[in-house]
Amino acid sequence: MTGVNLPCSGTRYLFAVAGKSAFKEIVEEAGAIAAFAGRFFTQAFRPRFEWAELLRQCYLNGYRSLTLVAITAFIMGLVLTVQSRPTLESFGAESMLPSMVAISVVREIAPVITALICAGKIGSSMGAELGSMKVTEQIDAMEVSGTNPFKYLVVTRVWSTTLMVPLLVVLADGIAIYASYVGVNIKDTVSWPLFYRQVFESLEFSDFLPAFIKTFFFGFAIGVVGCYKGWHTEKGTEGVGLSAHSAVVVSSLLIFLLDLVAVQITDIMGLN
């Protein structure tokens, strides 16, 4: 009997040890990212400000991401409209289609999808770029030359994502709503003024404001995680790929967690 139970007990022990080890790594990683974010706040508001580099990063992370975000938003609004029409038709509620799509896009779909796109494009780029600078000792060379590499490389990138992601989300809202107008007119004929009025009669300020505020946190999370992964790259060129990959995974997970927290807060405040 004892011989039968020993392998099972050993397996359980190994799983328990592995679980504790994984939990410990997650906690340590979360603490390290929080400390990295704290270091950002200690230097983010101190002169000298790297305005030229900040504008360059805003261009790279904002304007260069606009095409991808616009295409995704248009397809998202069009598909949501086309897929929702049959269900509303079965209840004789086709007239509610503009309102339903607008509220869904503004409150949840556009912020989360746009943030995930930015996590994949911007987060991986930051992880790979800073990672390659780390393994080739360019960051060390900047410190030797008297430049503050954290302020120049990290602070500017985090500020750029924090500012650009909300702007991209607002543009995605508008493009997705226009795509919904196109989707409605595939089978019906609805004028733009009528569609526009139906959309904005259904939307309230409490629909837009919480969704807009949480996009700043999405952008901040993308910037901090991407820079953190690149800043702590190890194991040579192999580590660059690992940094880019883990930056996307961790920032995407943080986006979902932040969205969950934001939904709970708005529900408690009665904004839903």
As a three-state string, the secondary structure of 119-167 is HHHHHHHHHHHHHHHHHCCHHHHHHHCCCCHHHHHHHHHHHHHHHHHHH
CA distances from 180 to 142, 183, 194 (A): 50, 5, 13
The pLDDT score that the predictor gives to residue 272 is 63
Evaluate if residue 189 carries a pLDDT over 90.
Answer: no
Distance CA 259, CA 107 (A): 11
Average pLDDT over every residue of 33-61: 92
pLDDT-derived band at 122, boundaries 50, 70, 90? very high
Q: What pLDDT does 161 receive?
A: 96
Predicted local distance difference test score (pLDDT) of residue 4: 46
Residue 196: pLDDT above 90?
Answer: no
**pLDDT at residue 208 is higher than 60:** yes
Q: Does residue 37 belong to any structural domain of this protein?
A: no
- The neighbour count for residue 58, using CB atoms within 10 Å, is 19
**Residue 54: left (phi > 0), alpha (psi -120 to 50), or beta?**
alpha
59 part of a folded domain: yes
What pLDDT score was predicted for residue 6? 42
In a domain, 125, yes or no: yes
**Cis peptide bond N-terminal to 39, omega within 30:** no
Is the pLDDT at 40 greater than 60? The verdict is: yes
Tell me the residue range of the domain where 65 lies.
Answer: 50-268
In a domain, 12, yes or no: no
Domain count, the chain: 1
Residue 45 lies inside a defined structural domain of this protein:
no
| Nearest-angstrom CA–CA distance, 241 and 117 | 19
In a domain, 122, yes or no: yes
The answer as to whether 21 is a domain residue is no
pLDDT at residue number 38: 94
Structural domain includes residue 15: no
Q: How far is CA 94 from the centre of its chain?
A: 33
Q: Residue range 211-220: average pLDDT?
A: 95
